[in-house]
Amino acid sequence: MKSILLRCAVAGAFTAGALEAHAQAAPPAVLAQASSAPDDIPAVVVTGSPLGSGLFELVQPADVLAGRRLWHQRRSSLGETLDGMPGISTTYFGPVASRPVIRGLDGDRIRILQNGVGTLDASSLSYDHAVPYDPLAAERIEVVRGPAAVLYGGNAVGGVVNVIDGRIPERPLSGFTGRVEPRIGGAENERSVGAVLEAGNGTLAVHADVFGRKTGDTRIPGFARSARQRATDAATVVQPQGRIPNTSAKADGGSLGGSVTWGSGHVGLAYQGVSSVYGSPAEAAVRIDMESERWDLGGEMRDLGPVISAVKFKFGRTNYEHREIENGTVNTRFLNKGDESRLELTHGKLGPLSGAFGFQGTNFGFSALGAEAFVPTTDTDAKGLFLYEELALGGLKLSAGLRGDRTRLSSQGGGPADASTGLAKFGDPSSRDFRTGSQAFGAVWKATPTLALVANASSTERAPTYYELFANGPHVATGSYEVGSTTLDKERSRAVDAAVRWSSGPNAASLGVFRQRFRNYVGLFTTGTQRGADGEIDPVDADGDGRADGSGEEISPEARFRAVPALFRGIEASARFRAFERVGTLDLEAKADRVRATDRSTGRELPRISPTRVTLAADYTFERFNFRTEVVRASAQNRVAANELPTSGYTLVNAVLAYRFKLDNTALEAFLRANNLGDREARNHASILKDRAPLPGRGVLVGLRGSF
């Protein structure tokens, strides 16, 4: 493992020292802002609109996790950090490899961005592949629920998650600011620390951050395997209790960035390195060694003139490697190298009309090398143009967007011989070209200063991914033999959603409904056929040990990517009310979401759809103390897909106690977070491992956050 942590720490310390001689003393206002612990979310959400809009005025359904909410909800993965927000669950492949699921959609339909540029990893390929980003470094996380394909392409048909960390400073800095956050405890026995330092002299601004994290195997209240799974297991299957085996992890990383800033713009460069070693709960002997290096270049120029008022550009280049190690031997190496560029131009106001247009390009090469590779070496090249406009007519704001993309996916083919055909496993070299288009229309009407009505309609097209087209082989993470289809067409969907939003001082509430209809939803479906690891169809297994007689190849159920008509629909609600503000303040909160997803050709449910969830919480603040407790209720999920087991409901009780110390020019907060106080067995139906890896049991984590 590369010593990324050490390299970035030394670089950050050196840069800070070089600036010290030139930096001016930070004014009290800057220190006060850096030392505050805001509970409110920022006013501008750049992910949902290139023009910048407050959450109340934003056309698309969106949310922001920042301030104290983010500090107390941070977990070891992006999916777990966001889990529980309206409409959002997680794939949960253990505590490290967890991606967000939005409105029942996951994988390539959720676009994960870092400062507006794609992460370019391999996490959408497989549930056991982690996103190479640790939430300890995040300043805020913006989430757009529902189609955001007009701005970010067809693979944002389910939503966008944008992590913002300030690694390329965008505003002038004077003096030094920073923060540090150590943590210890929890069901995973976490020991982690993250630190950020920013410095500037009014023109040059520098950002440096480092983190380190180590966890043990996750504690659970009972058996790792569910009662339903144990009832079908063979007598020889080991039944671990008390912990989920092979879920320990170790990670470190950091970044160094700098910008030249001026009153109306900036330009900067940043480097990031992340290294992680973690276990796979699906295979007790498999460890995953992941490394990712990334360079980012970005800048913005504002107040340019009446025709083009602002220009923003971003470029990211990623070198990602992921090694799957079994009993000390590297079985498969996954490599993903590529870059993404984005250019946005905001035009001057044309009366009540304002808008932006731009270009986005993505190019990356993926390869899987080794005995267990189930996808060939591929290249993906995508280019898109987009236009977004807003029309303000008094209390009514209308929005419209158009986007067109061209995507080319190429496979080098080859591979070992397939036992079922005698031909090369991945066939001859081949390629597919797709032209896709998306349109979106929306309206926000501020009926009163505190009440807004919102409606959206969109039509989206998504090109299939390289693994949906070219996969052919056993995939350990899904426990199946996956087969792609080179004849898949572009995926088409239409969506509508409507919401009512109310906001008055510390009180706010929203209620929204959505409906998304896919003409040809591309999913992975079991076929009932068994395949050996060499591709043999329905091999003989007379002794029932799960291996083919003679060859000894492991046998897996076959699953094929195919397109079916599908319908997703649901409801999302949230509310926050100030109960009193006499002796301290007490806020009461409620959240609820529900999603249904069906295969319209059969009437059956689609797999891994979260059940109805309701969260009730109370948040009390008195002087420097803050106490928050919440009860999360997830219903049983009995509407299941073919070959999928139902999931029992569960109730979790969580609490956070925090205390702020009063120090000059410094903010210091100590907190204690207790999760699953009742030590209940809870299984996430959206996880492919729900019957083998429950959510963590009772855990108490202690942390300290300081900023100056």
The per-residue DSSP string of 515-565 comes to EEEEEEEEEEEEEEEEEETT--BS---TT-SSB-TTT-PBEEEEEEEEEEE
Using DSSP bridges, classify how beta strands 430-448 and 480-483 pair: parallel, antiparallel or unpaired: unpaired
Of 98, 114, 116, nearest to 106 by C-alpha is 98
Distance between CA 117 and CA 113 in Å, rounded?
Answer: 5
Average pLDDT score over residue span 329-338: 91
Distance between CA 342 and CA 349 in Å, rounded?
Answer: 22
Q: Strand, coil or helix: what is 702? A: strand
Per the CB < 8 A criterion, the answer to whether 436 and 490 are in contact is yes
User: pLDDT value at position 539?
Assistant: 86
Distance between CA 46 and CA 50 in Å, rounded?
Answer: 6
If one counts the domains in the chain, the total is: 1
Q: Strand, coil or helix: what is 370? A: strand
Mean pLDDT score across all residues of the chain: 89
pTM exceeds 0.85 for this model: yes
Average pLDDT score over residue span 692-708: 95
Map tokens 């009993």 to a residue: 327
Residue type, 588: L
- Number of neighbours of residue 117 by Cβ within 10 angstroms: 23
Distance between CA 295 and CA 163 in Å, rounded?
Answer: 16
Name the percent of the chain lying above pLDDT 70.
Answer: 93
Average pLDDT score over residue span 75-83: 92
pLDDT digits (tens, 9 = 90+) for 383-409: 999 999 999 998 999 999 999 999 999
CATH number at residue 54: 2.40.170.20
pLDDT digits (tens, 9 = 90+) for 160-197: 999 999 999 999 999 999 999 999 999 999 999 999 99
User: pLDDT value at position 328?
Assistant: 87
Exposure string for 1-29, b = 16+ CB within 10 A, e = fewer: eeebbebbbebbeebbeebeeebeebeee
pLDDT digits (tens, 9 = 90+) for 435-460: 999 999 999 999 999 999 999 999 99
User: pLDDT value at position 5?
Assistant: 41
User: pLDDT value at position 417?
Assistant: 82
User: pLDDT value at position 422?
Assistant: 82
Of 366, 328, 296, nearest to 129 by C-alpha is 366
pLDDT digits (tens, 9 = 90+) for 223-276: 999 999 999 888 888 899 999 999 999 999 999 999 999 989 999 999 999 999
pLDDT band of residue 11 (cuts 50, 70, 90) is: very low
More confident residue, 38 or 326: 326
Distances 450 to 43, 56, 345, 581 between C-alpha atoms, Å: 15, 9, 32, 21
Segments forming the whole domain that contains residue 628:
4-707
Structure tokens at 693: 């890896």
Per the CB < 8 A criterion, the answer to whether 535 and 482 are in contact is no
Instruction: State yes or no: pLDDT of 43 exceeds 60.
Output: no
Q: Residue 25: CB partners within 8 Å, gap ≥ 6?
A: 174, 175
pLDDT band of residue 44 (cuts 50, 70, 90) is: low
Per the CB < 8 A criterion, the answer to whether 209 and 133 are in contact is no
